Structure formats: structure tokens, C-alpha cells
Amino acid sequence: MKHNYHQAKQYIKELRNVVDLYDYKRIGNISGIYFVLDENKECIYVGKSKDGIAHRFKIHFEQDPQKWLEFIKNGATQIAWIPYDKIENNNLGKDEHQWIQLLNPPANHKKTKDSDSRPPKAKGSCFDNELLMEYVKLRDIKNEAQRRMYEIESEVISIIKENSKEPSYRAPKVKVRNNRVLKVVTEKEWEYSQKVKEQELKLNALKKYEENNNKAQVLNYNKKVQVSSYKHQ
């Protein structure tokens, strides 16, 4: 038995007796202390079994899915264990208590009757096992999607940056003044050919002709103040 928290954590991380959470049947009828771990091998739950760890997990899954759901909510992914022989089995209860005291796993915290939030039990089980398995599958899909998104994130950002490069385009400058955003817009000036200039002169002359002969329609009156210089007489 390890005598401090850090030694206990390191000991569990180095255990070679490890299987995935849903492969608990592979453990068989081995008795001993078992640890439910997350993906970082942090301990979520400590338990013991004299009749076989696989049998104990079958009870968790089939008769007490609330405990299994608690494992899932805490991110459980693995089971590690320390095998005991028949003589060592006499110390299972004491050793389990010491491991719980050292590691303080979240799923070992006992709830009081007032704080117990379990739903009422249905016949044979307090949860529908099919619903529980659906929850597990959806969680695994979510974790896989997040992992894949993390893997391709840097590559996607590079692609976006590469496709957004336009040599002929210059982003407008933006200034902030008195909490107002002032956007500087660049306008182009054009120099037209002589043919365009001649057409503009003809168009302006035609406009003036229609204005003077009441053929053009007035849409609006814009008032302007004209300041002219004059001589005082």
C-alpha cells in the first residue's frame, strides 16, 4: 500500500492489468481491488470483489446502472486492478478503504438520503439499458469528433489563410476614434478616352436643353446658401 497521494497515483498509472471499460468481461473471475480510470488514468472509483471483478462489473451494469452512468459522467474509459489470492482476500475491505482515503475518487462519495437524486426504480433496473448504451455511443461519437477536429484544425486554418490571399486586394484601414469605428475607403480615379469625354459633353448639353425647355422632371429641391462678394456703395 502506498502511503501518500502522489505515490498512489503513480502506482496506478504503472499497473499493467488494464482493459477498456466495456471489455470488463476479459478480467474474468479474478478477485482483488479494481480502479475505474479516465483517459488520463485519474482514478474515478475504487472497488473490491471476492467473487470476480468481471462479475462485479456485470452487477454494476445490469442491476445498478446508476453507478455505471456515474462512471460515464466522470469520463471513465479503463479498468485497472490488483489481483488478490485467497489469503489476501481477507484484507480486501481494509485495503479498499485505504485506497479510497488516499485517492478520494469522485464516484466513491456516498450520497445522503436527502441529496439522493436517483430516479425511481423500474422493474429490474432503474434505467433502460438500451437508453444507457445509446448515451454511451453518442458520447463516444462526440469524443471522436472533437479529437478529429483538433487534429485537422491547424491544417484547416492554413487552407483558409491560403485561399483568402488576393495580391490585388488591400484590406481597408480601420481607425477607432471616440469609440467610433472610422473605415477608410479607397476610391479609384479614372481617366477616360476622348470618345467617352465627347459623349459626356453631348449628354450634359442634352440634359441642359431638357431642363431649360421643361422636358426634364424636377424630383427634389435642394437649398444651397450662396455667398457672393459685393461692394458697399
pTM over 0.85: no
Whether 45 contacts 71, CB under 8 Å: yes
DSSP 194: H
Backbone angles phi, psi at 48, to 5 degrees: -140, 160
Helix (H) / strand (E) containing 34: strand 32-38
| Dist CA 35 CA 9 (whole Å) | 11
| Dist CA 225 CA 228 (whole Å) | 10
| Dist CA 75 CA 53 (whole Å) | 20
What's the residue count for the chain? Answer: 233
Q: Per the domain annotation, does 121 fall within a domain?
A: no
Q: Per the domain annotation, does 79 fall within a domain?
A: yes
Q: Per the domain annotation, does 96 fall within a domain?
A: yes
CATH number at residue 49: 3.40.1440.10
Q: Per the domain annotation, does 128 fall within a domain?
A: no
Whether 2 contacts 102, CB under 8 Å: yes
Q: Per the domain annotation, does 223 fall within a domain?
A: no
Whether 8 contacts 99, CB under 8 Å: yes
- Domain residue limits at 102: 5-109
> pLDDT per residue over 64-122, tens digit each?
767 778 888 888 999 999 999 877 888 888 899 999 998 999 988 764 344 344 444 44
Q: Per the domain annotation, does 214 fall within a domain?
A: no
**Total number of domains constituting the chain:** 1
| Dist CA 53 CA 81 (whole Å) | 8
> pLDDT per residue over 170-198, tens digit each?
555 555 555 555 555 567 778 888 888 88
Q: Per the domain annotation, does 38 fall within a domain?
A: yes
Q: Per the domain annotation, does 184 fall within a domain?
A: no
